């Protein structure tokens, strides 16, 4: 006989500990598994997101925004600019494309594609050139 899979343990303390460690994505998945609304946990999640930003994990934060759309204290353009400033050009291009942020980033996108070419990542450069063709 098959048993239904058990849901992971859930408590406010557990969610707060996860967020304090920067494990916001895991906390969000747990909240969703238990039918919780992310808006009701905005303050706790915001603390975790601030931890991610402090730890220079903007790429992970952008992934959370893309996958879960939680309330976020940071703007997507500011997070993308942080990726550029840290030199994470592939991460910048990936997130700019999947979040549909093109306006005001045309120069950075062109420079990012050129960066890929300069670093012998021609296949990636060609792929991003196609993806951004209508926008830059």
Q: Which residues of the chain have pLDDT under 70?
A: 1-8, 136
Predicted TM-score (pTM) of this structure: 0.86
Same domain, 62 and 35: yes
Residue 84 is predicted with a pLDDT of 97
In a domain, 2, yes or no: no
Distance CA 10, CA 26 (A): 12
Residue 114 is predicted with a pLDDT of 97
Same domain, 16 and 68: yes
Phi and psi at residue 87, to the nearest 5°: 85, 15
Assigned token pair, 4:
């239904």
Same domain, 63 and 90: no
Domain that holds residue 44: 11-73
In a domain, 4, yes or no: no
């Amino acid at each position: 006989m098959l048993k239904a899979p058990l849901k992971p343990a859930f408590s406010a303390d557990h969610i707060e500990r996860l967020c304090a460690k920067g494990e916001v994505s895991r906390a969000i998945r747990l909240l969703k598994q238990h039918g919780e609304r992310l808006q009701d946990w905005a303050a706790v999640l915001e603390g975790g997101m601030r931890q991610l930003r402090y730890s220079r994990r903007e790429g992970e934060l952008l992934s959370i925004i893309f996958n879960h759309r939680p309330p976020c204290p940071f703007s997507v353009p500011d997070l993308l600019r942080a990726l550029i400033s840290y030199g994470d050009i592939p991460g910048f291009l990936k997130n700019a494309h999947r979040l549909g942020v093109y306006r005001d980033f045309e120069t950075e996108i062109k420079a990012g594609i050129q960066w890929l070419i300069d670093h012998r990542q021609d296949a990636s450069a060609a792929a991003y050139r196609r993806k951004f063709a209508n926008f830059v």
